[in-house]
Amino acid sequence: MCGIIGVSNNKEAAQIAFLGLYALQHRGEEAAGISTYDGRNVHIIKNSGLVADAFDEHSMRELKGQSAIGHCRYSTTGSSNVKNAQPFLATHKNKGIAVAHNGNLTNTEILYKKLEEEGAIFQTTIDSEIIVHLLARSRNGDMKKWFLDVLTQLQGAFSLVFLVEDTIVGARDPQGFRPLCLGQIDDSYILASETCALDLIHAKFIREIEPGEIVFIKDKTIESVFLPDSKSAKRAHCIFEYVYFARPDSEIFDNNVYNIRKALGAQLAKEHPAAADFVMAIPDSGNYAAIGYSNQLGLPLEVGIIRNHYIGRTFIQPTQFLRDFRVRVKLNPIRSVLNGKRIIVVEDSIVRGTTARSRVQELRSAGAKEIHLRISCPPIKSPCFYGIDFPNKKELIASNKSVKEIADFLKVDSLEYLSLEGMLSVVKNSKDFCHACFSGQYPVAVPRNKSKYLLEGGLNTKHEARNPSQREPNGKQYKNSNI
């Protein structure tokens, strides 16, 4: 999962891209980058870390031009290092091509081998670089035909923004796995992963980019074409965007995230009520489902845990060590609220179970008499190959244990999950959503090599882990080589 933004025809393009990425920070905390075009040259700055740390006043002054694209990274293909940060920039025939990608290609191995046999030399281990190599090989004078030819070769999940000199190109896969929206500030068009980015920069929301659509934005004009058969392709919007990833103030897939999370909580209460003194959430993504749950049952909603907001999102940290550390620092129970109480705890999801177990232990230590854990989505039993870094099945607790066994592992008095049918009942056009991580029903064929690190150490090597300390040194301006 990543955040992407594109800005066209604006004198403050880099600053707007920076603010947009700031609003999209929840989608990726590992690295951030911005690329601009000033009419002659392409500029790029990218660093590891948060958006606010990746840029300073000096670097922002270097990002000249009226066109910009930006990216904040959460790694799903390739290690977490600055070399793999985006946008990915290359030059071909003295012209720059930059891309920022949210999603995961499922035919990476096939395309990578084909390009290598044709002489391509790769600079990173991300699937996004493949797209630029394909563009370099098929370039022609008609931009629409050029992008149609290349993007038709891609399979899997992709929401993309490109910087091709003074043209911003946006694209979305035919299934529409990941969100991408279009906004406007005066004569400037904006592309962004979520509408919360448009809100921050006071841009008017126009519409979502349609699945399979490619939009071309230059100066004050915008045109679009569609990938072949995209109109008839089965939609597969990621429902986990509603459960966890998207910001609650965003509108994605024609629904408001806040309202969906409240509805998930209400449906959860209908399916699995419990006798307790009050309802509480695991902040922050559990907050809104807890509101719906408490409203449905007429139980008080209390704040039993305080979150340290200077700590980032736990789930998207790349190693278990960092996740465990951040769990301890991130949340602190309020003893006077919890002591001697029967509580219903609403959480958005359980992935590995280690984080949930430590939270339950802290609630017990704070004096909770009974803990009834309620999860606002079904058990996560299968990995995701479309842009979420869920581990393999052996690390997913629900793929190896029954609900009763998970409850025993977590040491809760009861544990219940929202049903798949209940989850789908709260969204419009439920048939248009991907729920493979819950059901194992994959709408697009999964890759043969399922490793996140399939492009590292050769395609025949299965990498299980990477040491996050083995990363590239930070550089204020990390430039990609020519293609």
List active site positions. Answer: 2
Torsion of Cα atoms, 407 then 410 then 414 then 415, to 10°: -70
Distance separating alpha carbons of residues 37 and 9, to the nearest angstrom:
10
Contact 347, 376 (CB under 8 A): yes
Distance separating alpha carbons of residues 426 and 263, to the nearest angstrom:
6
Distance separating alpha carbons of residues 451 and 448, to the nearest angstrom:
9
Q: CB within 8 A of 205, min separation 6: which ones?
A: 181, 182, 183, 195, 198, 251
User: 460: exposed, middle or buried (C-beta count within 10 Å: 0-12, 13-18, 19+)?
Assistant: exposed
- Residue 46, both tokens: 């990218």
- Residue 447, both tokens: 């890759």
Contact 272, 416 (CB under 8 A): yes
DSSP string over 193-259: SSHHHHHHTTPEEEEEPPTTEEEEEETTEEEEEE-TTTTTSPP-EETHIIIIIS-TT-EETTEEHHH
